[in-house]
Amino acid sequence: MKRAERMRRNLALVASLVALALCGAQAAIGQQDSSLAGRFVCIYRGTLSEPVPEDLGIEWGWPGGITTSQGVPFLYSYPDVGICSCARLEAGLPPCYMNRPSTDFPGVFARLDALTYLGFAADLPSGYLAGQLAVVYEDGSESVLDLVAGVNTAEFEYGRVTQACLRHTQMPPACSEYISNRETAFFVYYYHVTLDLEPKSIAAIEARMPEYACSPRTGCDGVEKTALQVGINAITLER
């Protein structure tokens, strides 16, 4: 009897960890709404997906799946849709890339929603402009969203970083993911940002990072570093 109880508890623990690793995907189950079909288009793993299915409980690979934030569905996974990093710059690469074609955006959209995060950024102060998400229209004009530490995005591993090293505040995350290995276990966080769009056809969506973001800075341990990462994990366009 005791053995059976232990097995039951272990299975329950595994199930709970799987749910956490799916970034809240199970919370979307049952939230079926036919108005979502065709209203949202999610950019996923570098390709333009089909419109979001009515059954939001569908799973789209591992790790990842579908989650909702403020009523907006996201398809998220690894690799990120887009990223900027000082490591790319140091390797002689453009600091930013978007892992998708810049064409085939169907129609006109009213708003862009994204899940974002900062990496190696605990020491950045609140108000620090770490990057931008830009929508470029076919006529050459743009809508640009600043990604600002402690304002609309924050450190990916916020709860893991030594509190004395944190320089910016954390807003409520859109979802969290549980990471576990032999040495440690912790949560990572994604933050929901929105950008109102012009009623124009979209030519491209770009991730950007200011040049100064990779300037040397002294961390809380007194060591000089240039590391910084700005992640765009998922993007949803709303009609």
CA distance 28 to 85: 32
Residue 35's pLDDT is 43
* Residue 210 and residue 20 in contact, taking contact as beta carbons nearer than 8 Å: no
Cβ proximity of 177 and 115 under 8 Å: no
Show the CA angle centred on residue 181, arms to residues 178 and 182, nearest 5°. 145
* In contact, 203 and 80? CB cutoff 8 Å: no
* Residue 102 in tokens: 């810049």
pTM of the model as a whole: 0.77
Give per-residue pLDDT as tens, 155-165: 888 777 666 67
> CA distances (Å), 127 to each of 85, 146, 234, in order?
19, 10, 23
| pLDDT tens for each residue of 74-129 | 877 666 888 899 998 888 889 998 865 444 677 899 999 999 999 988 889 999 99
6 Cβ contact list (under 8 Å, min separation 6): none
The β-bridge partners of 74 are: 67
